[in-house]
Every structure is written in structure tokens, then in C-alpha cells.
């Protein structure tokens, strides 16, 4: 074991790793902790050097929970191969019977593939309290977009998922050269053992050669990192309310981070990728099955609501507020958006409670309370509470539509 047992991060990692089933050599935990300790020493030296140079670097992570993996050594590698060409990885990659049954499960589902299928990942979650086995399958699509399915076992809360039982947990489409794939399922599937307190489960898989992958949600104000368990693969477990509609993944290759959306579970509100285009000074959402009433969002928050069959996006906060319930994130004070002076938008509380500048304003589904989105932050000006949007419609990535919010 390493010497500095009082290091708070090391102590926390020991406690957390005690609940994780790490399938590796017996000395793997020691090597991980030594690696973390060494990295922290390097980081302290780097901070001293930066202070000496009078340079300050701020990593803005407020309002996000982060699950992160990065390579320990070596240069970043740029991976641009199609997801169809990824090698199959995971501790169950050699289980041909499992891969065949997973393909059969996808083909027999309502959203089955129409072409050839191959696996790019097969493995088991190390989280014993929410354990499941997953097979990630890919199939060629059209217009540069390929299909991806995640076939899993039911969730086990004792760390013993039953590989004999398989179900389709999530299906989506991705860009052919996307550098990461993954899903978050907010609703339990048939056969899942109930997770204490409820939870959103998922997996995120980076392209081969990626230097770093992280999964984050804008719904939470705290952040935490997880130690490396399996290179390039994360198994996020979030509290109820987190889903593909308010979360995303970032994959870094060649020193260049890129953000991608996560797929929703088959029983969740359907999310699909869209592109934003400005046509004759009008913002439009371009994608499959875009319909009036759909919300347009990024993992950071809501951009607007689709107004008509042409995909016109209404970005006014007052229009967004009509789609669901408006309330503050922490205190849950209910309210509404109203037009203010000089083209501003104000937040008016419709119930009791305290709030302050910087509070996040959420949009919550009227009939689907698990759908929660950041919309704005409050600021005080001239005795009024102004609502300042959290997402700039002209500077976005990983844009999606959420059906029937």
C-alpha cells in the first residue's frame, strides 16, 4: 500500500472501490491508488508552476456531475474510424453465444435492424448495487448515420446479473465517425431488481484510442470523478431525474474534446439527434420526425420548442415555459416567465420560498416529472428577477429533440 493514508482522495477512493467488483489482478487496487497519488503530486507541482507564472486556469464544472476516465500515460490518439469498424471489447467479448442471443433480441424487437449486425462491446457493470451485463451492437444506417442498440440483462442489486435473460435497453442512431456511444435509462425495465431510492443507469464507451471520456449531467450542482476501472468505459449511476435529455458525454482525442448525446432508454421519452439551421433568419430543427411541441435541447439545457411542421424553433423563454412546469432547482419554488422591460425575461414566483441570484430555473414535464431541464439562471436587476438563458441557440453541440415532453 502507499504511505500517505491520510490523503483524503485516496481514502475516498478506497471506500468507493470497496463497493466495486474489480475483475483484475490482486494488486490492481494498489496500482490504481499509486497512479492517483502520483497524478495528484504532479498536479500540485503544476499548480505551483502556474502560480509562479501568474496564470490561472479555471475549469468550469458548476452545475454538473462528472464521471471521468482518462489514460494514465502516452499521447492522445485521434480515432476517426467508423463505429462499425470498432473492435469488440469487454470481459464478455469472446462469448459468442451471448453475442448471438443479443443480436437475436435486437432483431426481434420493434426497432430492430434491417442490415448486418456486429458487436463492439460486451461486458458487465462493476457496480454490485446496480449490476447488469450489456452488449453494444451496431448496424449500418443511411445518410452517414449508423444504428446502435444496447442489449442488457435485467439489473441485479446483488452483483449477479442473469446472462440467460436479455432485453433491448436502448436504440439510437449515431454519426458514422462518432467517438463515443452510450445510453442512460431512467425507467426500470421488466425484470430489473429495484435499486434502493431509484436510479438512472447507463454505460458510455469511448472509441479505441481516445484519451479521455466523461459523462456529465447539468441537473446536479456537485461533481465527482470515478477511478479507472476499465479503460475507455464508464458505468454511470445517477439519481432519479437524470436522463439522456439533460446529460451528455465528452470524448477527448488528439487533445480535442468533442461532445456527444447519450441515447435514452426504450421506455423513456424518446430523444433523437437534430441539427439547427438558420433559414431566412428563422432557426429550424432538422432531423427525423421533428414535430410541433418537441423540445429542442442540449445536455446543458433547453433551447426552444418546435412551433410548426417546418421545424421552426421558438426560443423565447415565455414560450418554453408553456410546455411544462417552471420551478427553481433546489428550493422548488414554482414560478413563470413573463416579458420584462427592454426585451428581458423575468421570473415571477407563484408560490412561497426563498431564492437568490444564480439559482437555476428548471422546466419539468407536466405529466412526466422525470423530465427536468435547465432553462435559465436568476439575476437581480432593478428590483426584478431576470431570467438569463443557460444555452445560447447559436453556440450549441449535441443538440437533440425530446418527444412529447
Q: Where are the domains positioned within the chain?
A: 8-52, 68-220+227-268, 275-402
All three cell numbers of 58, joined, read 479555471
Contact 194, 157 (CB under 8 A): yes
Per the CB < 8 A criterion, the answer to whether 269 and 403 are in contact is: yes
Name the nearest CA neighbour of 261 among 398, 147, 68.
398
Nearest to 121 by CA among 176, 211, 77, 182: 182
Q: Determine the Cα–Cα distance for residues 293 and 237; give it in Å rounded to an integer.
A: 30
* Best CA proximity match to 375, nearest among 347, 394, 399, 356: 347
Spatial distance between the Cα atoms of 392 and 313, rounded to a whole number of angstroms = 13
Q: Are strands 65-70 and 118-124 parallel, antiparallel or unpaired?
A: unpaired
Distance of alpha carbon 55 from alpha carbon 250, whole angstroms: 26
Q: Which grid coordinates belong to 116?
A: 448486418
Query: DSSP letter string over 59-120?
Result: ---TT-EEEEEE-SSS--------GGGPPPBSTTTT-HHHHHHHHHHHHTSTT--SS--EEE
SS3 label, residue 10: helix
**Predicted pLDDT at 52:** 33
Helices 8-17, 28-52: inter-axial angle, 10-degree rounding: 150
Asked if residue 217 lies in contact with residue 247, where contact means CB atoms within 8 angstroms, the answer is yes
Q: pLDDT tens digits for 215-233?
A: 999 988 775 665 557 899 9
Residues 180, 172, 275, 313, CA torsion sign: negative
Mean pLDDT by 10 residues, the chain (405 residues): 42 46 46 46 41 29 43 47 93 98 97 96 94 97 90 97 97 90 94 89 94 90 66 91 92 89 94 90 91 94 95 96 94 96 95 93 91 95 93 85 83
Residue 285, C-alpha cell as written in the block: 430543427
Q: Which of 167, 24, 141, 147 is nearest to 91 (CA)?
A: 24
Q: Are 202 and 67 contacting, i.e. CB atoms less than 8 angstroms apart?
A: no
CB 271, CB 244: distance < 8 Å: yes
Q: Which residues contact 394 (CB under 8 A, 6 or more apart)?
A: none
Q: Strands 384-389 and 247-253: what pairing?
A: unpaired
Cα distances (Å, whole numbers) of residue 187 to 117, 219, 242, 266, 403:
26, 17, 11, 9, 16
Among 90, 65, 91, CA closest to 226: 65
* pLDDT value, residue 227: 52
User: Are residues 126 and 230 in contact, defined by beta-carbon separation less than 8 angstroms?
Assistant: yes
Amino acid at each position: 500500500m502507499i504511505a500517505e493514508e491520510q490523503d483524503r482522495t485516496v481514502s475516498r477512493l478506497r471506500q468507493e472501490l470497496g463497493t466495486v467488483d474489480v475483475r483484475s489482478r490482486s494488486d490492481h487496487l494498489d496500482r490504481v491508488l499509486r497512479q492517483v497519488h502520483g497524478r495528484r503530486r504532479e498536479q500540485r507541482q503544476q499548480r505551483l508552476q502556474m502560480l509562479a507564472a501568474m496564470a490561472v486556469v479555471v475549469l468550469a464544472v458548476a452545475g454538473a456531475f462528472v464521471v471521468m476516465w482518462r489514460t494514465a500515460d502516452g499521447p492522445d490518439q485521434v480515432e476517426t474510424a467508423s463505429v462499425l469498424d470498432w473492435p469488440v471489447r469487454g470481459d464478455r467479448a469472446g462469448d459468442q453465444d451471448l453475442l448471438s442471443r443479443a443480436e437475436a433480441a435486437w432483431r426481434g424487437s420493434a426497432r430492430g435492424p434491417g442490415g448486418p449486425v456486429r458487436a463492439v462491446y460486451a461486458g458487465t457493470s462493476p457496480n454490485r448495487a446496480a449490476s447488469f451485463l450489456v452488449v453494444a451492437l451496431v448496424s449500418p444506417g443511411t445518410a452517414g448515420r449508423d444504428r446502435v442498440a444496447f442489449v442488457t440483462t435485467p439489473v441485479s442489486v446483488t452483483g449477479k446479473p442473469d446472462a440467460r435473460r436479455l432485453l433491448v435497453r436502448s436504440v439510437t442512431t449515431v454519426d458514422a465517425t462518432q467517438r463515443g456511444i452510450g445510453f442512460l435509462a431512467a425507467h426500470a425495465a421488466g425484470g430489473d431488481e429495484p435499486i434502493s431510492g431509484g436510479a438512472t443507469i447507463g454505460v458510455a464507451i469511448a472509441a479505441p484510442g481516445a484519451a479521455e471520456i466523461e459523462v456529465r449531467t447539468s441537473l446536479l450542482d456537485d461533481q465527482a470523478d470515478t477511478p479507472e476501472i476499465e479503460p475507455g468505459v464508464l458505468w454511470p449511476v445517477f439519481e432519479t431525474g437524470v436522463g439522456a435529455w439533460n446529460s451528455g458525454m465528452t470524448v477527448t482525442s488528439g487533445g480535442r474534446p468533442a461532445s456527444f448525446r447519450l441515447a435514452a432508454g426504450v421506455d423513456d421519452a424518446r430523444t433523437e439527434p437534430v441539427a439547427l439551421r438558420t433559414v431566412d433568419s428563422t432557426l429550424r430543427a432538422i432531423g427525423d420526425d421533428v414535430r410541433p411541441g418537441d423540445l429542442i435541447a442540449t445536455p446543458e439545457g433547453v433551447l426552444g420548442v418546435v412551433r410548426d411542421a417546418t421545424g421552426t424553433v421558438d426560443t423565447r423563454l415565455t414560450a418554453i415555459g408553456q410546455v411544462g412546469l417552471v420551478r427553481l432547482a433546489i428550493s422548488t419554488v414554482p414560478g413563470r416567465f413573463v416579458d420584462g422591460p427592454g426585451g428581458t425575461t423575468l421570473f415571477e414566483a407563484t408560490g412561497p420560498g426563498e431564492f437568490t441570484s444564480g439559482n437555476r430555473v428548471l422546466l419539468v414535464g407536466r405529466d412526466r416529472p422525470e423530465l427536468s431541464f435547465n432553462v435559465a439562471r436568476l439575476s437581480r436587476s432593478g428590483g426584478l428577477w431576470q431570467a438569463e438563458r443557460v444555452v445560447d441557440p447559436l453556440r450549441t453541440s449535441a443538440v437533440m429533440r425530446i418527444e412529447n415532453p
